[in-house]
Amino acid sequence: MPRNPLHYLQFLLHGSRDAKHPPRKKNQAKERRTRRRKIEKPKQTQNHAPKSKSKKDIAPPKQPQQQQTPKPNWPPLRPLIPSSDLTLDPLLPDQIYLIPNFFTANLCKTYVSFLSSLPLTTTPGKPKKGDAVRVNDRFQIQDERFAESLWSGTALKDLVMNGNGEGERSMKEIWGGEPLGLNANIRIYRYSKGQFFAQHYDDSNTLTFSSPSHPSQPARTTWTLLIYLTTCSGGETIFYPESTRGNRNPEPVSVAPVTGMALLHRHGDRCLLHEGSEVSDGEKWVLRSDLVVR
């Protein structure tokens, strides 16, 4: 306590000069809470794990390579009957031609034995929309060399180019263009008992054609080639000609499969409605390609 009464009075009124109080701040409580939060906030621990690579750094997974079906080691096309002893017979003028004995019986037997070893696939029972119902086993391969052998190594080329049996009609008019060869898309069909191919039309296809005798060039298919390798009960290829003024109700044209016989029929816009009837006994083996023209 101050000894001087005046000082004592000042002490009571104003307090000690040594104990000064700082002016009170309006936001003092808020600042204390803020400081408390800053103190209580835990420190972030450093992650020592390796950083993940960006999308650019990650190599895309390797796609498995699609395995291509190896081309068959086709048996030699012999023995064969020379073209001078064969004929191209018009069954239905401008629509269907037959070549009896195009393959010999021994060659057909060799091919049936060989084709039986190929991985044939059974067609699905329910076809795609717009497709005809077909129940058979088939094999398909793209093989330019074999197509060339079927064309030039047999009597087919000579018969198509020279022996059409249509008199004065030009070759281009009959075949829909200048024949180049056969489609490299080779198809094998096997129809067992109870199997068939419902009514349908064969489409024409555009393609790039190449062969040892022709450079690559745009072309199209115009005729279907079927080579029957077996004889069976049933299994006829039946054609349904369109009605004309002279014949309102034309009879169907039926071709029974005969071992070694070849059949050519027009396809595309001028294709006749046709079917492969049900096989009732035995097996029907067919080798198929298409005539290619420019």
- What pLDDT is recorded for position 231? 99
Task: Point out which residues pair with 70 in neighbouring strands.
Answer: none
Percent of the chain with pLDDT over 70: 73
- What pLDDT is recorded for position 183? 98
Check whether 22 has a pLDDT greater than 90. Answer: no
Domain 89-123+134-293 -> CATH class: mainly beta
| Mean pLDDT lowest among 6-10, 73-77, 99-103, 138-142 | 6-10
What are the distances in angstroms from CA 108 to CA 35, 227, 235, 280? 99, 10, 17, 21
Check whether 11 has a pLDDT greater than 50. Answer: no
Could you list the beta-strand ranges (E) of 137-242.
137-142, 179-182, 185-191, 196-200, 206-211, 214-228, 233-234, 237-240
Query: pLDDT tens-digit profile of 113-172?
Result: 999 999 999 987 666 666 789 999 999 999 999 999 999 999 999 999 997 656 557 889
**Per-domain residue ranges for the chain?**
89-123+134-293
Number of Cβ atoms within 10 Å of the Cβ of 251: 8
Query: pLDDT tens-digit profile of 212-236?
Result: 777 899 999 999 999 999 999 999 9
DSSP string, 26-64: TTHHHHHHHHHHHHHSPPPPP--SPPPPPTTTSPPPPPP
Check whether 45 has a pLDDT greater than 60. Answer: no
